[in-house]
């Protein structure tokens, strides 16, 4: 090994060597910044986040182009060869149907098993796979249902064949979008209409006004995705920097406002993937897979908390008392959200896996019940 390589290894060892520095009670902020571990933490966090962005956006888009070009094309976009392509399309779906049913029930079993045996990473992988067909909706905008990567939506066939409305048992998640639409998008559209009727836009035409509206909605979608990306990246950088400093409990910077900001960023990021598939782009995508993924992520966070309490009881409990679980909300709102938890398990926080399962189930039921009245508005049907 050359001299430069040895120096790099020695530097990394020096940077990442624990310093046995544990914060005292109430010490949540770092008093001095050490540049080298901070730069390394930021660099690694960007690599992690950009890698996730590449895998969750670029790879599906490229895979979609590859599949649609060579294997499964869109029969609705073909004129002369429509019958031939339609037959190919139907044969592929028929071939995949038994595999789709088997995969569906296997994923359900993996998710449940992971929760029962406290291997939430296993449940996370299962729920993430169950969520993957949303990429088919994402990249298949305005396309045929199973064109290109849309073929992975065969994983939802047990729902689509028998009760497609069940795929929207998380429709209440669209409520924040409704608020944004009413408070921001509608007023701006009204302003565009006023400008259209004035001397400012008549030459642009109605189509240009609609395009501007679509751009506005796209900007909101990218903003939400950007928020999730920033929170995730900042959280990973903070966690890495704290570990490099030898901290047992990471309780500074973004961790002062959320005990699990990395999971919060992941949830927001996955939520943003639903949005490119909403009108005016195409139909509303199913929300039940997002509900399952979110509940599993929350279960992971609660399980990690119990592990941290066993390892660092006093420090972690002190930090938990002053820091919100996921989202920093006013105390009264947080108390209202946590009310079902306290009623079900008779405790402030779940202390074992049985408590976590009960919490996941009760909040899942609440979301489903709130979503039932909205099902007619967000029916999952293909035109």
Instruction: State the DSSP string of 303-367.
Output: HHHHHHHHHSHHHHHHHHHHS-SSS---HHHHHHHHHHHHHHHSSSS--SHHHHHHHHHHHHHHH
Q: pLDDT band at 156, cuts 50/70/90?
A: confident
The pLDDT of residue 219: 79
Write the pLDDT tens digit of every residue in 90-110: 676 777 788 889 999 999 999
The pLDDT of residue 227: 92
pTM, whole model, 2 decimals? Answer: 0.81
Taking CA atoms, 311 is separated from 24, 101, 235, 314, in Å, by: 16, 42, 21, 9
The pLDDT of residue 312: 84
The pLDDT of residue 4: 46
The span from the CA of 333 to the CA of 335, in Å, is: 5
339, 301 Cβ separation under 8 angstroms = no
Write the pLDDT tens digit of every residue in 234-249: 999 999 999 888 888 8
Q: pLDDT band at 222, cuts 50/70/90?
A: confident
Of 62 and 46, the one with more pLDDT = 46
The pLDDT of residue 13: 45
Q: What percent of the chain has pLDDT over 70?
A: 70
Q: pLDDT band at 23, cuts 50/70/90?
A: very low
Give residue limits of the domains in the chain.
30-378
pLDDT over 50 (residue 2): no
Closest C-alpha to 157, from 101, 207, 108, 202: 101
Write the pLDDT tens digit of every residue in 307-344: 999 888 888 888 888 899 999 988 889 889 999 999 98
pLDDT over 80 (residue 146): no
The pLDDT of residue 199: 54
| CA pseudo-torsion sign 346, 354, 110, 108 | negative
pLDDT over 80 (residue 380): no
Q: pLDDT band at 190, cuts 50/70/90?
A: confident
The pLDDT of residue 139: 55
In the block, residue with structure tokens 């990690």? 304
Share the mean pLDDT of the chain: 78
The pLDDT of residue 134: 81
């Amino acid at each position: 090994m050359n001299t430069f390589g040895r120096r790099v290894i020695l530097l990394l060892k020096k940077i990442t060597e624990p310093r046995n520095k544990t914060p005292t009670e109430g010490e949540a902020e770092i008093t001095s910044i050490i540049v080298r571990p901070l730069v390394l933490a930021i660099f690694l966090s960007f690599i992690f986040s950009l890698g996730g962005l590449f895998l969750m956006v670029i790879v599906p888009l490229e895979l979609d182009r590859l599949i649609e070009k060579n294997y499964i094309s869109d029969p609705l976009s073909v004129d002369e060869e429509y019958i031939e392509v339609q037959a190919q399309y139907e044969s592929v779906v028929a071939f995949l149907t038994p595999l789709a049913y088997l995969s569906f029930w296997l994923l359900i079993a993996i998710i449940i098993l992971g929760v029962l045996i406290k291997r939430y990473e296993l449940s996370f992988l299962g729920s993430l796979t169950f969520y993957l067909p949303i990429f088919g909706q994402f990249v298949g905008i305005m396309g045929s249902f199973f064109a290109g990567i849309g073929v992975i939506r065969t994983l939802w066939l047990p729902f689509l064949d028998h009760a497609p409305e069940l795929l929207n048992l998380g429709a209440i998640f669209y409520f924040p979008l409704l608020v944004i639409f009413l408070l921001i998008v509608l007023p701006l559209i009204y302003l565009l209409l006023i400008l259209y009727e004035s001397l400012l836009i008549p030459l642009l035409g109605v189509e240009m006004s609609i395009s501007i509206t679509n751009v506005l909605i796209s900007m909101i979608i990218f903003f939400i995705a950007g928020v999730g990306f920033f929170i995730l990246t900042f959280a990973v950088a903070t966690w890495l920097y704290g570990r490099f400093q030898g901290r047992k409990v990471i309780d500074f910077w973004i961790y002062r406002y959320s005990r699990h900001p990395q999971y919060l960023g992941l949830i927001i990021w996955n939520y943003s993937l639903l949005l490119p598939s909403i009108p005016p782009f195409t139909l509303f995508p199913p929300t039940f897979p997002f509900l399952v993924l979110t509940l599993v992520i929350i279960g992971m966070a609660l399980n990690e908390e119990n592990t941290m309490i066993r390892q660092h009881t006093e420090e972690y409990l002190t930090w938990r008392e002053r820091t919100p679980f996921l989202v920093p909300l006013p105390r009264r709102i947080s108390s209202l959200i946590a009310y079902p938890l306290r009623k079900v398990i008779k405790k402030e926080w779940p202390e074992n896996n049985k408590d976590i399962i009960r919490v996941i189930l009760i909040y899942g039921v609440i979301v489903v019940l709130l979503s039932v009245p909205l099902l007619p508005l967000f029916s999952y049907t293909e035109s």
